[in-house]
Amino acid sequence: MTVEPTPSVREAHLAELGHETGRPLHVGGLSAEELARRFGTPLYAYDARVLRERFQRVREALGGRVEISYALKANPLVALAELLRREGARAEVASAGEIHAALAAGFEGPEIQFAGPGKSREEIELSVEHGLARLNLESPAEYEVIASVARERGLRQGVAVRVNPERAVAARMHMGGGSQKFGVDVDQVEGLTRRILDEDVVELEGLHVYGGTQCFDAGSWLRNAKALLELAARLEDLHGRPLRELNFGGGFGIGYYEGDPTFDLGAAGEGLRALHEEDARPERAYHVELGRYLVATCGVYLTRVLYTKRSAGRTIAVVDGGMHHHAAAAGLGSIMRRSFPLVACHDVEGSGDPSGVGGPLCTPADEFCGAAALPEPSSGDLLAVLASGAYGLTFSTAQFLSHPTPAEVLVEGDVPLLARERGRPEEPLRLQRWTRGRGRP
């Protein structure tokens, strides 16, 4: 199993976008500058070709036995989810909002599964109403609510038990292993599955595991999958009942920082095939649920330089976008603040002295990177944060300072589809009540 260093993360992302050296940055057949002129900045732009090719590459590598779900939390833009559905994906959701997004994208209830440690009764009711394929339940207490809703409605809801694995996966952000709000500890799974089978109110479909995000070690990911398979075999022996589905989760890593390794997709695929053979259960369904690995590389975040200034020997570009739209690129969720790959759209290969790139928010956290080696920035320049398709707007502090949300555009060849309109400055007032002035009482 190889964990190879990426020669240049920036080059790899540019290559995937089809960038040709010396040309201004393009998304699909349109220049970033043209997109920015037509739709304004800040702007998220996604290349449909890149997304489609990514999905098909994953599908080919993992083989026909594996169902791939798109984890909408990575980017709940309906147009992206719809494209992935047409390519053959199913959907994994984590809230009522994401259920609605998945339905709007054309997924049928039985193509959708729901994971998340804090599903409310309303969300469970909505899931049951729409006949969601499976609720991946994360605690005995949650099981009780699901069972109560199923009894009330007289419907047999499919469930899988999300297992909190004994061994953590080698991921940058763990969501399994040790004491966790996620999943059911391995030593409690037998008791819970016994109870589900004895009470016979919901349908126990199988097991689920999700170890964490930004995993670059396919071997570690596969060990986690194998442990789930072994647990399934033990439970089947104990209960004398087959488990029809195993969901191995997602979390395949994407490089953002120079020196980041590359996730070995081929090795993950080979390993999964070997597991299927070892399992020797042709009737069993295997799932993975991927977010970042599918959508990260098709997206760029475009932001324009408003002003430049010199401060303490450094040029600082103040841009119109920031952490309210792209918190991850400003370091949220990372232990160490490092630069996301950032380029000047008119001079993609250009570099210069390190400059600061700061957004309009009144916090020093609103800086894209401490030391971007961009060509000397000028006011009006368009900058692009690469690999911005996943955990962008959805992972951001969008309400801080009440700026409008950016437009989002899906580019198909040279045809742009406005997938989300730019927000309006008065929108922060929506849903508010106040008693004075022209507000609603």
Ligand X SMILES: Cc1ncc(COP(=O)(O)O)c(C=O)c1O
Q: Tell me which of 114, 210, 221, 301 binds ligand X, using CB under 6 A.
A: 210
Which residue has 């390794």 as its token pair?
261
Minimum Å gap between C-beta 83 and ligand X is: 17
Helix (H, G, I), strand (E, B) or coil at 275: helix
165-194: which residues touch ligand X (CB under 6 A)?
175
Minimum Å gap between C-beta 244 and ligand X is: 19
Which residue has 């109870």 as its token pair?
195
Q: How far is Cα 326 from Cα 332, in angstroms, rounded to an integer?
A: 9
Specify the residue, 157 or 164, whose C-beta has the smaller distance to ligand X.
164
In degrees and rounded to multiples of 5, residue 18 shows phi and psi of: 80, 25
258-297: which residues touch ligand X (CB under 6 A)?
289-293
Q: How far is Cα 145 from Cα 162, in angstroms, rounded to an integer?
A: 16
Minimum Å gap between C-beta 238 and ligand X is: 26
Q: How far is Cα 103 from Cα 282, in angstroms, rounded to an integer?
A: 30
Is 159 a binding residue for ligand X by CB under 6 A? The answer is: no
Cα-only R_g, the chain: 23
Task: Identify the CA nearest to 175 among candidates 127, 222, 208.
Answer: 208
Is 249 a binding residue for ligand X by CB under 6 A? The answer is: yes
- Which tokens sit at 139? 């605690």
Residues belonging to the chain: 441
Minimum Å gap between C-beta 188 and ligand X is: 18
Minimum Å gap between C-beta 74 and ligand X is: 4
Q: Tell me which of 71, 89, 398, 407 binds ligand X, using CB under 6 A.
A: 71
Specify the residue, 73 or 90, whose C-beta has the smaller distance to ligand X.
73
76-135: which residues touch ligand X (CB under 6 A)?
92, 115
Structural contact between residues 427 and 434, judged by C-beta atoms closer than 8 angstroms = no
Which stretch, 40-48, 68-76, 95-103, 402-410, contacts ligand X (CB under 6 A)?
A: 68-76
Which residue has 């004895």 as its token pair?
198
Please work out the total of residues on this chain that contact ligand X, with binding judged by CB under 6 A. Answer: 17
Minimum Å gap between C-beta 296 and ligand X is: 8
* Nearest residue relative to ligand X (C-beta): 291
Helix (H, G, I), strand (E, B) or coil at 150: helix
H/E run at residue 122: helix 121-129
Q: Tell me which of 74, 170, 222, 235 binds ligand X, using CB under 6 A.
A: 74
Minimum Å gap between C-beta 389 and ligand X is: 11
Which stretch, 137-145, 248-256, 380-388, 400-408, contacts ligand X (CB under 6 A)?
A: 248-256
Question: Which positions ≥6 away from 5 have C-beta within 8 Å?
Answer: 259, 260, 261, 262
Is 367 a binding residue for ligand X by CB under 6 A? The answer is: no
Please report, as ranges, the residues that interact with ligand X according to CB under 6 A: 71, 73-74, 92, 115, 175, 210, 213, 249-252, 289-293
